[in-house]
Chains A and B, each alone.
Chain A
Amino acid sequence: MNKNPIKLGKLVRRTIFYLFIVTLAVSIILPVFFLVSLSFLSTRESYSFPLPLLPSLKTEYSLTHSDRGYLLSVYDKFDKEYQTVLDTAELEKMSVYMKNQIGTPYSIPKIEERIAELENGGKDTIFFSVRKNLLLNYTTFFQITRDAVPALLRSLQIAGLTILISLSIGSMAGYAFARYVFAGRDVLKFSVLFVRMFPGVAIALHMAIILANMGFYDKPIGLALVYSVGSIALTVWITASVFMGIPESLEEAAQVFGATKWQTFLRVTFPLALPGLAAAAMYTFLGAWTETVSAILLTQFNPTFSVVVYQSLLGAVGNVNLTAAGGLVLAIPSLIFTFFIRKYIQQMWGGMTI
């Protein structure tokens, strides 16, 4: 009996702990799940209510005669009945509809086969099912969006340039902040953060003018420069703390054992800072890769991939399931990059962590 209160207290604490963890996990996983699922839905599915939790793998059709030609119906799992979606005599229209709206590509000769079945079989209605092409949204996305592939490459290029610029400048400044005492050091270190206190949009217009004067408007290097302004603040702070974390005696030891200042940096400081620099590179990449607002304002004919994804939501072609597919394509490089860097950081030097 005596033990019960203790056990109960423990139980409550555990329950709260797990509730907390689960809430956290769900709030992260659910939107991702939603996005992934949405990217596999057909257009018809994605505009139906309620929205299906999972994409269907095939669609049940029924075909019957009508005054105008043929009546095409689709089985609705939620209402548990066939719903007429098309009333037409044009087979091409039927084929296009089946592909674009339902996600089940079906050629005209095949439709003709089904119609022959209807005419000759003596039945009122015939039923057939067609497998869904799950990747259709992805291929469609690249087909209908204006230069998605070049935009993807451009985004990679911009992210790479941003990493290069902000890491080289940022880490030099970070090293200085970490190792040297000079007048106004702390003020300077804080003022580096000022650039992050403005929303990007607020200065984007001025940036556009400056970039145009430099001849960098609508060019990857232009966006990379704009992104670097923001991310240098981040890399300065990250690298400064990375360099501060490297004991000075490790550098001194290298000098005593025969290294010049430059050799010391290359063989001791730099390799030791690499995991931290990689982390800084990761943040910079993510920032540059997903940034959209400035990119919309600062590009015209050469958008980044995030802009392309955003635009796919607008106008005549705007379908949420296509945008979801584009969004996932946008996420994949970030995932790969993050995964490899994490793995790299973890595996260094016999599992040492700094």
Chain B
Amino acid sequence: MATLTMQNVTKIFGRDVIAVKDFNLEVKEKEFLVLLGPSGCGKTTAMRMVAGLEEVTTGEIFIDDREVTELPPRKRNVSMIFQNYAVWPHMTVYDNIAFALKLKKLHKDEIDRRVKETAGMAKIEMLLERYPSQLSGGQQQRVAVARAIAVNPDIFLMDEPLSNLDAKLRVSMRTELKAIHDKAGSTTVFVTHDQSEAMSMADRIVIMKDGEVIQVGSPDDVYHRSGSIFVADFIGTPPTNFMDVKIQKESNGTHLVNTHLNLLLEPEMAKHLNGYDKNHIVLGIRPENIVLVGESDAALSASCLVSEPQGSHQVVAIQLDDNIVKVVAPPNPIIAPGTDVHLIFKQETLRFFDPDTTLAIND
């Protein structure tokens, strides 16, 4: 149980591939932290530097107060679940789990006790004598988990551990991994590019892009209080809808206006624009915060392009000029293409972004 601190960590491959750029992060004790970002944004690289598998170009890494930047992997007391599990095919499940314990020269009985205990946690007690080639993908994954918890690590690193499992198993393994984390209580860094995985498991999410940290916050924060257009767009399916609007101050209050829209902001929301001196913003609104209403109440009317029924709800796509706005609506009645729909926005959920910096104006 430890904290992990990364200070100004940068990783440059070769001469000019900047994989991680000035990375600052503090992971609290027992925290489940998720690194989330699109493919190639440097998540794996960041994690491998913590493990010691990749040299740090500049910056420092601390586990508790111990600087580990230059230490070889074996001296860091971290453990890792690899994306392809990396269980050793020439060892039985038992030997896989016992490997690290044997290297630590623990007593035989102690090794046996710990192997059985962790195998029990990962639910593979009955597979101990098998070789990995005799296991299913999900079972191999459990072996990797058991091997990683057996060593009682300070930091637990997981690089997309669920990405090779089928959709159903992935969801059930999420719950189990989280339960194991709670039980073992180890500080965990979990890498994924699957945002629903991140949302459902994380205490805090770190959103990365091009090697940089874009936003750090609870799942609630990054979803409802996205700090930039990138985050608002990256998190959520379907993602946030964006519209370019002009700010018009009139006698009855502040309006957001474009060719389709003339929205009178409630005073609460208008306040957020007070310090803002440009006259354009990007308006962001999540699909579930747009509500279908009768024609008389509408802030915006347009015709439906297509509707995708999802069982519990339907996603209605609406064409406004050249961008498409998606709305999450109740499942019934199904809205036919071409029908006129009338919408209002839940004002308190609106996000305002600066079109130049792409950062959020309200927070």
Residue numbers of A with Cβ under 8 A of B are 247, 249-250, 252-260, 263, 267-268, 271-272, 348-352, 354
Contact = CB atoms under 8 A, between A and B. Distances in A.
Given A253-B88, A272-B89, A351-B133, A259 B80 contact: no
Given A255-B74, A272-B89, 5 more contacts: A249-B84, A256-B80, A257-B151, A349-B133, A350-B130
A257 B103 contact: yes
Interface of B: 51-53, 72-74, 78-80, 82-84, 86-90, 99-100, 103-104, 130-134, 147, 151
26 contacts: A247-B84, A247-B86, A249-B82, A250-B88, A252-B73, A252-B82, A253-B86, A255-B72, A255-B74, A256-B52, A256-B80, A257-B147, A258-B100, A258-B103, A259-B74, A272-B88, A272-B89, A349-B131, A350-B131, A350-B133, A350-B134, A351-B133, A352-B89, A352-B131, A352-B132, A354-B89
Contacts of A259: 74, 99, 103
B53 to A, nearest CB: 5
Contacts of B86: 247, 249-250, 252-253
B134 A258 contact: no
A83 to B, nearest CB: 65
A256 to B, nearest CB: 5
Contacts of B73: 252, 255-256
A247 B83 CA distance: 12
B51 A268 contact: no
B134 A257 contact: no
Nearest to A260: B74
A260 B132 CA distance: 23
A259 B74 CA distance: 6
Nearest to A249: B86
A352 B78 CA distance: 30
Most B CB atoms within 10 A — which of A247, A263, A267?
A: A267
Contacts of B88: 250, 253-254, 268, 272
A350 B91 CA distance: 10
Given A249-B84, A350-B133, A257 B90 contact: no
Contacts of A272: 88-90
Contacts of A250: 86, 88-89
Nearest to B148: A257
A257 B89 contact: no
Contacts of B51: 252, 256
B99 A254 contact: yes
A89 B87 CA distance: 82
B96 to A, nearest CB: 9
Q: Give the 10 A-B residue pairs with the shortest CB-CB distance, closest first.
A: A350-B131, A257-B100, A352-B133, A249-B86, A258-B103, A253-B86, A255-B73, A258-B74, A256-B73, A258-B100
B72 A257 contact: no
A263 B80 contact: no
Contacts of B130: 350
Contacts of B78: 256
A263 B103 contact: yes
Contacts of A258: 74, 99-100, 103-104, 151
A334 to B, nearest CB: 28
B148 to A, nearest CB: 8
A252 B53 contact: yes
Contacts of A252: 51, 53, 73, 82, 86
Most B CB atoms within 10 A — which of A253, A254, A260?
A: A253
A313 to B, nearest CB: 47
A247 B86 CA distance: 8
Contacts of B80: 253, 256
Contacts of A352: 89, 131-133
Contacts of A247: 84, 86
A249 B84 CA distance: 8
Nearest to A253: B86
Contacts of A271: 90
A243 to B, nearest CB: 15
Nearest to A261: B72
B104 to A, nearest CB: 6
A256 B74 contact: yes
A169 B134 CA distance: 34
Most A CB atoms within 10 A — which of B52, B78, B103, B147?
A: B103
Nearest to B103: A258
B50 to A, nearest CB: 10
A350 B93 CA distance: 12
A258 B99 CA distance: 9
A259 B103 CA distance: 7
Contact of A257 (B79, B131, B132, B133): B79
B4 to A, nearest CB: 15
A250 B140 CA distance: 14
Contacts of A263: 103
Contacts of B52: 255-256
Contacts of B103: 257-259, 263
B147 A349 contact: no
Contacts of A349: 89-90, 131, 133
